[in-house]
Homo-oligomer: A and B are copies of this chain.
């Protein structure tokens, strides 16, 4: 910048004004400065600018468990779309359910002076963020409610969604309904289990623990479904409370020729679920909506909103495509 000033024969401040489109520079001078900048290949340094201004960096971060899945991709797209028109750029990374990584990443992001954070927490407690928030850092949780921390969040109603799914199966005549879900250490898995149990109890169906399985990988879910179907008194319907579980179950059902015999309802939508036969009935949430709402909440905080934290619980919807409308045999 000094070089540009020298070449244009003006002061530093004048160059600064031109670069920042500030008023109060004669167009003749502005032109001369522009030319000098171009000639020297001058590039404005936003880091230095922000340092002096003591202002925001115009950067936020998105922390999800796995950047490669559909849900994260839609989320990121929506957040970037929403924030970029407001002048922000978005950093993102995967946490892989590792609490330690979450801490490390957050600490690094704070050192980078990221303005705010949208995150799907991996940790059991996010209390460690309290001092940062007090210092003006903005945080919005998504997918899972914050724990031991009072902050904005956007989640879907997992209990109600799971209850809907289970009720749907009950309404189609099923009484032996299995639950295949994520590990109970994952909060959403617990909520979905609760919805499942609620629905059964409301219908006067005893909860049979042998029909409840959990795991983390698609292979584990497939194995669980095989075991369930080999039971002396097997389930006539499956509620798979997670994407990978739904896929694993669909594969096993097809493999065993039971795709039109055993009912299946999954939580979270699957792309092209209508092209599969039978079409997969799912409880869906709208990741783009979650992203937009989270970005809006974050943006409000960045603009100084200091009212009580907002907790947004979005509804789920059921997409009936066939697999969930199968009635029990006999």
Which residues does A use to contact B, with CB under 8 Å? 41, 43-48, 50-51, 57, 59, 61, 66-70, 72-74, 76-78, 80-81, 84, 89-94, 108-113, 131, 135, 247, 250-251, 254, 270-272, 275-277, 288
Contact = CB atoms under 8 A, between A and B. Distances in A.
A77 to B, nearest CB: 4
A294 B46 CA distance: 27
Contacts of A47: 47, 50-51, 57, 112-113
A76 B89 contact: no
Contacts of A43: 110-111, 135
B77 A67 contact: yes
Contacts of A74: 68
A251 B46 CA distance: 49
A46 B91 CA distance: 16
For the complex formed by this chain, how many copies does it contain in all? 2
Nearest to A71: B73
Contact of A277 (B90, B131, B277): B277
A13 B130 CA distance: 29
30 contacts: A41-B135, A43-B110, A43-B111, A43-B135, A45-B51, A46-B112, A46-B113, A47-B50, A47-B112, A59-B112, A61-B89, A67-B77, A67-B80, A68-B76, A68-B77, A70-B271, A73-B73, A80-B92, A80-B94, A89-B93, A90-B92, A90-B93, A247-B275, A250-B275, A251-B275, A271-B271, A271-B272, A272-B276, A275-B276, A276-B277
B69 A73 contact: yes
Contacts of A270: 272
Given A41-B131, A67-B80, A46 B111 contact: yes
B57 A67 contact: no
Contact of A45 (B68, B111, B254): B111
A250 B275 CA distance: 8
A142 to B, nearest CB: 16
A18 to B, nearest CB: 15
Q: Which 5 A-B pairs have the closest CB atoms?
A: A68-B77, A73-B73, A67-B77, A275-B276, A46-B111
A108 B94 contact: no
A76 B67 contact: yes
Contact of A272 (B112, B113, B247): B247
B89 A112 contact: yes
Contact of A73 (B67, B78, B276): B67
Q: Which of A46, A73, A94 has the most CB of B within 10 A?
A: A73
Nearest to A251: B275
A108 B89 contact: yes
Nearest to A68: B77
